[in-house]
Structure 1
Amino acid sequence: MTVDEERRSASAQIFVKGDVLDADGVITLDSSTEHHLTRVLRLSDGEYVSVSDGAGRWRLAGVIHAGGSLTLEPAGPVVAERRLHPPLTIATAIPKGDRVDWLVQKAVEIGVDTVQLLHTERSVVRWKAERATKQVERLNRIAHEAARQSRRVWLPEVQPPVPVLDVLALSVVAEPGGRNVAVGDTFIAIGPEGGWSPRELANAGARVQLGPNVLRTETAAVVAATLCVSNSR
């Protein structure tokens, strides 16, 4: 079994700070992580957990139950993995309801590193500062859980919403009739279901198409993420 296969076959993955990952001896867990491994996953002695610092480094650790608590004992060296592709960003208008949760979860599982939320001219969903702070905190929890589930060793991030004109010059925009997504397209902007406004398109750079059909915002984000990852490997 290769090192990568060992990580992927672990019973669970968790994230810790770098100094915790590097320390010798048992790895002591915070209460929420211990509860997740013990009560939710119900891990047993002898099972292995992949422990990552979220910055590309990880190691295997074995589960130990003692004194009513669970700790982890390092079972191998710290491994540093190179990125398989450049960091990928999907900038997206915020879809309605819980669709944004699904968007973040699936984009992270596919391999997106940053989800940048946008307020566009035709956005239906707009968050004021206080709500945005709470929602982004919640979405980052979803992103980190998706990273654990998919055995990623690079932690993703959800960024608070910004005016779309702040990012159009940095990205390519998803728009019917554009060119195909190409190698080097690592920052794609997705508009709201009402589409981009003429002013936004006038300020946009290259346009890329995501297929022949009209897509919901969250679907477009997932398609764009898939194409970016596929092209960059």
Structure 2
Amino acid sequence: ERWNTICREAAMLARRLRVPEVSAASSVEAVIGAVDTAVLLSRDASVRLADLHEPRDVTLLVGPEGGWTGRELELAAETATLGPRNLRAETAALVGLAIALSVRGE
């Protein structure tokens, strides 16, 4: 509830009509199965998130600071990198959202 309140207030401040949705999932498999397009953010991915030029709704999955398991990477339809730097999970989420919004022209 706390994160949804933060998102709602931030969206109001930014005058956005759409509020980003934040939810905790029981497993990566559950998230990937529940959304239309999941992009797993991984430092070792070959495609940069900024190079995904197709503007569409995506769910960005930010993993643990230790990285994704091989199984989790296999489940993902797409993976993308934010670049070569190691980022804390909370920083990666903000960077990923900023890049995704920029790609969408928002």
Q: Secondary structure at the match of 1:167?
A: helix
The question of whether the paired residues in 2 share the 8 Å contact of 1:183 and 1:228 is answered with: no
Aligned to 2:10, which of 138, 143, 146? 146
Mapped partners of 1:153, 1:205: distance in 2 = 28
TM-score (norm 2): 0.76
Matching of residue 183 in structure 1 with residue 53 in structure 2: yes
> Aligned-residue CA RMSD in angstroms?
1.9
- Larger proportion of helix: 2
Mapped partners of 2:20, 2:96: distance in 1 = 17
Amino acid at match of 1:218: E
Deviates more, 1:155-164 or 1:189-198: 155-164
Q: Secondary structure at the match of 2:42?
A: strand
Q: Which runs of 5 or more structure 1 residues have no equivalent in the other structure?
A: 1-136
Aligned to 2:41, which of 169, 174, 190? 174
The question of whether the paired residues in 2 share the 8 Å contact of 1:174 and 1:189 is answered with: yes
Identity of aligned residues (%): 37
Mapped partners of 2:41, 2:97: distance in 1 = 11
Higher relative contact order (CA 8 A, sep 6+): 2
Shift of 1:138: 2.0
TM-score (norm 1): 0.38
| Greater Cα radius of gyration, structure 1 or 2 | 1
Mapped partners of 1:156, 1:209: distance in 2 = 21
Aligned to 1:201, which of 73, 82, 86? 73
Aligned residues: 97
Mapped partners of 1:202, 1:156: distance in 2 = 26
